[in-house]
Chains A and B, each alone.
Chain A
Amino acid sequence: MEGHLNLTLKIWRQKNANVAGKFETYQVSGISTDMSFLEMIDVLNNRLIEEGDDPVAFDHDCREGICGMCSMYINGRPHGPNRGVTTCQLHMRSFQDGETITVEPWRASAFPVIKDLVVNRSAFDRIIAAGGFVSVNTGNAQDANNLPIPKEDADEAFAAAACIGCGACVAACKNASAMLFTSAKISQLALLPQGKVEAANRAQAMVAQMDEEGFGACSNTGACEAECPKGISIENIARMNREYFSATFSSK
């Protein structure tokens, strides 16, 4: 049943990348428990606008948990307290009346803050551009059913391909490592015959780009997997490491 909440929000405000940010405190009242977390921020923002203040900038788009654009660090966890959901799918029924909620941007040197809760995640695009593809030009394909793929492999590739590129794994990691993101793409393509041809080059190029972007190393704490809204498994990291080391040892 719908209820209503009064909340205290501590939100990170930062005008742009060049100035320091700080927390500001806001009170919101009468928040419906049926609202999504972002709809609660909408309510705050419309009030700020009417009061003549600058609204809180945050990334969001599809609001159905698939585009990967929303990115809030809520009470010390990427995408908030619930498992397997993005911030846009987090609903206010997960909070208690009178609670104080702290909201920050993703924290990672490879994800610099643009404004308030908005960060720059273009490093992920560059990792994909380094090798996250099968080199097949349009028009080169054979009939799709000429290449049977065991269902188990296809399902496993799909599970890795479900990554939405939101960056929660990086935000959750104490080393700000992008291993879960990078390994998900490497795994998806390494599991499929289409991707095997370039598997060695891909692993090396993507890992090199990941390092160049300034992401940290993996120390196997598993926070990324626990916080991933799409349940991407850290087995992918193990697979990436296998791919990477076998590529390195067999390279000419």
Chain B
Amino acid sequence: MTKLDAKIPEGALADKWTKYRSSVSLVNPANKRSLEIIVVGSGLAGASAAASLAELGYKVKVFCFQDSPRRAHSIAAQGGINAAKNYQNDGDSVYRLFYDTIKGGDYRAREANVHRLAEVSGSIIDQCVAQGVPFAREYGGLLSNRSFGGTQVQRTFYAAGQTGQQLLLGAYSALQRQVGMGNVKMYTRHEMLDVVTIDGKARGIIARDSVTGALERHFGHAVLLCTGGYGNVFYLSTNAMGSNVTAAWKAHKKGAFFANPCYTQIHPTCIPVSGDHQSKLTLMSESLRNDGRIWVPKKQNDNRKANEIPEDERDYYLERRYPAFGNLVPRDIASRAAKERCDAGYGVGTSKMAVYLDYAAAIIRYGKAEANKNNMHNPSDEEIQAMGKAVVKEKYGNLFDMYKQITGEDPYEVPMRIYPAVHYTMGGLWVDYNLMTTVPGLYALGEANFSDHGANRLGASALMQGLADGYFVIPYTIGAYLASEIRTPAISTDSEDFVAAEKAVRDRLETLMNIKGTKPVDYFHKRLGKIMWDECGMARNAEGLKASIKEIQALQKEFWSDVKIPGEIDNLNPELEKAGRVADFLELGELMCIDALDRNESCGGHFRTEYQTEDGEALRDDEKYAYVAAWEYEKQSTFKLHKEELKYENIKIAQRSYK
């Protein structure tokens, strides 16, 4: 029954990529000039892929829905990017990064892909530095590192709390260079609304020009979806307002399997919801857990202010439960622990759905270290505070400022209040070792694919994966497909498949406009988000999931009969764009619940309350569920499960412990 062939090369794990890279088919430079590649999305994966492929000589078209490729949501990544450089001499290696990633993913990722990721991680840092990315440096002029969750080495490279911005601007510069040279044609304010397949192969896309509303047909010998994750299915998430699943979902409906949709990452350190008006949530970087301590009062329903609660009445619950990793346990574990304390009545703030992230101890520690450095023998408390705050400001200043802007509270004086929020989706389009989906010629890169993070992603690994896929994987692996396409001339976009695809897109847009119901798009999106957060969020169970599948189906019907979209179809119409995206989220949400219901175990970000150990940790079932769940779209609300067995030949599967 299964059509899944991951195409993992033969040989020893550490040799697979080197051997494969040296033997994969090549396309000669003359032929590259006549091969066209469409890249959808201009974040880290899309921009790096487009620039690298254009440098090789391919003809590239790039599409993004924002007004500039530099806006893609990779820009908002804060903390850092991992690489197995071992610059700190603290025992890091390619193998250790590989091992940490597999373990962090709760043994649900593919070994060969993850090892390749670890292998190319060092080259990413080299490339970015060469582009002029201003990473943080030490006084000796060499690169600085910090720690992130789920690891015991310092392998994270960073640029203050704006690492994603700096890496994206590096990739954007490389992309714009190719645009300037005429090797890339850039289409901004364009949204991809379908993949065009001809004889089973991806041959192009239908895109809508958001400004004029015109539909356009574009041909490509290959189509790369670099369109990010689907966290906005929850309505509230740390994703950008425009982040959506539409490109991936259209591909899914054209035959690309969707893998592990239920694996979502709930990030432990976000600013809590302040009210019903909330439109999005803001992350406080995981790097803050390097120095900040997380706690709640030992007493339930304690209404005292944080600074009034004495030290011995505070419960540093992560340090208590996980002494080996303390505040730096992986995200899934830190999130669940916060939820557990709040559900048990120990939460803080007016909503009681928050915990403290406290910098008081770090400020004193840094202040004393500065005093030592400056040979001050009896520094006053004020001096220690001032020097400590200065150090914290240099490391995390922009994050502290952002917290203050949003909450109106000063985190240098009072502990921050944080709560988990949807942040990243490990699931995505199923891809083989070449990053190709189950539709020939259609690829998925970065967060849009499912491949490297298993059931939980480690901090600072998303940037690594996006850039690995774009700079160092796809330029090689695309040759395996395009080498056999050199005899395919450009297909006319007047051919019947293109015409039919465009008509289907137009019909759907007109249907949406003609519903003329009574409720704005946001109304439906919020309701979907609430169902997903309550029943398919941090904790799930069979009963709740079954009920939410029915609720979502009912909501789909209501949406298609009662949504109200103002404006015109042939003008800039943000509500029409949103409606199309929410319609797709409504279908994806259903599949996420189906997947979560099917997986009768807990692993990583997927926590089924029926399956937990005595002390509340995730309980995997490796006998039955050590597979990738890849779903095939059959028809509305009907999906067929295909399984890719995960074989662990180099790592011994174990109960994941951070104690």
* Cα–Cα, bound, A149→B124 (Å): 18
Q: Which residues of A contact B255 (CB under 8 A)?
A: none
Q: Is the CB of A142 within 8 A of B126?
A: yes
Binds A, one of B61-69, B200-208, B480-488, B607-615: B61-69
Asked whether A137 is an interface residue with its Cβ less than 8 Å from the other chain, the reply is: yes
Q: Is the CB of A34 within 8 A of B274?
A: yes
Given A130-B180, A138-B472, A43 and B134 contact (CB-CB distance below 8 Å): no
User: Chain A's nearest CB lies how many Å from the CB of B237?
Assistant: 11
Which B residue sits closest to A150, measured CB to CB?
B141
* Cα–Cα, bound, A120→B188 (Å): 10
Q: Is the CB of B405 within 8 A of A132?
A: no
Binds B, one of A54-62, A219-227, A235-243: A54-62
User: Chain A's nearest CB lies how many Å from the CB of B172?
Assistant: 7
* Cα–Cα, bound, A161→B133 (Å): 8
Asked whether B475 is an interface residue with its Cβ less than 8 Å from the other chain, the reply is: yes
Given A32-B277, A89-B405, A192-B132, A132 and B188 contact (CB-CB distance below 8 Å): no
Asked whether A217 is an interface residue with its Cβ less than 8 Å from the other chain, the reply is: no
Q: Is the CB of B180 within 8 A of A129?
A: yes
Q: Which of B125, B126, B132, B180 contacts A157 (CB 8 A)?
A: B132
Interface residues of B in 264-305 (CB under 8 A from A): 274-275, 277-280, 282-283
Give the number of residue pairs across the A-B interface with Cβ within 8 Å: 224
- Contact string against B for A residues 91-125, beta-carbon threshold 8 Å, 1 for contact and 0 otherwise: 10100000000000000000000110010111011
Binds A, one of B353-361, B423-431, B455-463, B563-571: B563-571
- Contact string against B for A residues 4-42, beta-carbon threshold 8 Å, 1 for contact and 0 otherwise: 000000000001100000000000000010111011001
Q: Which of B128, B180, B241 contacts A61 (CB 8 A)?
A: B241
Q: Is the CB of B275 within 8 A of A34?
A: yes
Q: Which of B52, B136, B211 contacts A154 (CB 8 A)?
A: B136
Q: Is the CB of B85 within 8 A of A144?
A: yes
Q: Is the CB of B68 within 8 A of A121?
A: yes
Given A66-B75, A89-B406, A91-B406, A194 and B66 contact (CB-CB distance below 8 Å): no
Count of chain B residues with a beta carbon within 8 Å of a chain A beta carbon = 83
Count of chain A residues with a beta carbon within 8 Å of a chain B beta carbon = 80
Asked whether B650 is an interface residue with its Cβ less than 8 Å from the other chain, the reply is: no
5 residue pairs, one from A and one from B, having the closest CB atoms:
A148-B141, A129-B180, A141-B130, A133-B173, A141-B126
Some 11 contacts from A to B, beta carbons below 8 A apart, are A38-B279, A59-B67, A61-B241, A62-B240, A63-B241, A64-B238, A85-B405, A137-B52, A144-B143, A162-B162, A165-B68
Known A-B contacts: A39-B279, A66-B165, A154-B136. Give 15 more (CB < 8 A): A34-B408, A35-B277, A36-B279, A43-B277, A62-B73, A64-B280, A67-B66, A115-B572, A133-B174, A134-B173, A139-B123, A151-B141, A161-B169, A162-B165, A188-B134
A contacts, CB < 8 Å to B: 2, 15-16, 32, 34-36, 38-39, 42-43, 46, 48-50, 52-55, 57, 59-69, 84-85, 89, 91, 93, 114-115, 118, 120-122, 124-125, 128-145, 147-151, 154-155, 157-158, 161-162, 164-165, 188-189, 192, 194-195
